[in-house]
Amino acid sequence: MLAETVLAGLLLASGAAAAATPGVVIQKCSNPGMLALAYDDGPYQYTSQLVDILDQAGAKGTFFWTGTLYGCIYNQAAAVKKAYASGHQIASHTWTHPYLGQLSESQIRTEMTKVEDALVNLIGKKPAYMRPPYLDTSGAVLPTLKAMGYKVITDDIDTGDWNHNTPAQSEALFTQAGPGGNGHIPLMHEVYNTTVHELTPWLINWAKQNNLKLVTVAECLGDAGGMYQPGNFTPNGQTTCS
């Protein structure tokens, strides 16, 4: 009995560790009963409103931000600080949103360290999680991200908001997938007003109806304390993207 308990404990511990290993692609939560709303491509003009919508629902979300795709991240400093202060997870989506698999290791590192520098300047933290643009994990991507300590997230439901899916079409994908099993990590984008103002409220309601807790990606992997790289980082004073 004792041996079984110990063994179960070890299995659980190794499962949780495997779910958040740097450089290994993670598509969904490692536990049932949750949903990890995860938004790419910001910060942008809807970030602050999205934080309000999540906060009012008592939900936590995850933001995979770039440095420059929809304008310079420093121009959204207030929204960035607000999202962090509200307890949402801040994660990286690279500096310029390239196909990382076409880059050398040193170019990939630059894409990541520029976002790290910006986030140290804005919130004092370096992210521990990233989602590769276009979900491109080819070439030198995974070994480089592993060496940098990054946990790599893709998705298990692509809402297709980037491909002109309407909110109703995206919602049908969740209805089809269902609320059971380990929690979903959807691919969606905060740069579309409909994703922020229609799909997100629908998902909050869907989660409520199905007793799903709305948590960060790190929390849904049993890694709530590991949202950021360990260490104290000193801002370098940069306030522009150039």
Instruction: Using CB under 5 A, list all residues that contact Zn ion.
Output: 40-41, 133
Q: How far is the CB of 49 from ligand NAG (least distance, A)?
A: 8
Residue nearest ligand NAG (C-beta atom)? 193
Under the criterion CB under 6 A, does residue 197 sit at the interface with ligand NAG? yes
Q: Which amino acid is at 229?
A: Q
Under the criterion CB under 6 A, does residue 193 sit at the interface with ligand NAG? yes
Q: How far apart are CA 214 and CA 13, in angstroms?
A: 23
Phi, psi (deg, nearest 5) at residue 61? -125, 175
Q: Which of 97, 184, 189, 223 is catalytic?
A: 189
| Helices H / strands E in the chain, number of each | 9, 10
Q: Are 41 and 93 in contact (CB under 8 A)?
A: yes
Q: Is there a catalytic annotation at residue 40?
A: yes
Choose from Zn ion, ligand NAG, none: what does 41 bind? Cβ within 5-8 Å by kind. Zn ion
Q: How far apart are CA 36 and CA 20, in angstroms?
A: 15
- Which token pair is 205? 């309601």
Q: Which of 40, 41, 155, 161 is catalytic?
A: 40
Q: Is there a catalytic annotation at residue 189?
A: yes
Q: How far apart are CA 95 and CA 155, in angstroms?
A: 20
Choose from Zn ion, ligand NAG, none: what does 86 bind? Cβ within 5-8 Å by kind. none
**What residues line the site for ligand NAG (CB under 6 A)?**
193, 197
Active site residues: 40, 189
